[in-house]
Amino acid sequence: MKKSSKIDLEISKEQIQSLARVLLPCLQEYLSSEQGQKDFAEWTQKEKTDRT
């Protein structure tokens, strides 16, 4: 397994909220689409099989 280096980023609450305001509507639209639901189902199945 590759060792990851730790990066210390300081992100303000305002920056996180601003990013969320931009990304959330896009993510909601995608996940409510037929393709988004299909991709999510495939990802969920992969996660289940990877855990076993």
pTM score, whole prediction:
0.60
What pLDDT is recorded for position 2? 62
Alpha helices in 1-52 (DSSP H): 13-32, 34-51
Give the list of residues 6+ apart from residue 29 with CB closer than 8 angstroms, or none: 36
The closest alpha carbon to 27, from 38, 18, 35, 36, belongs to 36
Q: Which residue type, as a one-letter code, is found at position 1?
A: M
For the stretch 2-41, pLDDT in tens is 666 777 789 999 999 999 999 999 999 999 999 999 999 9
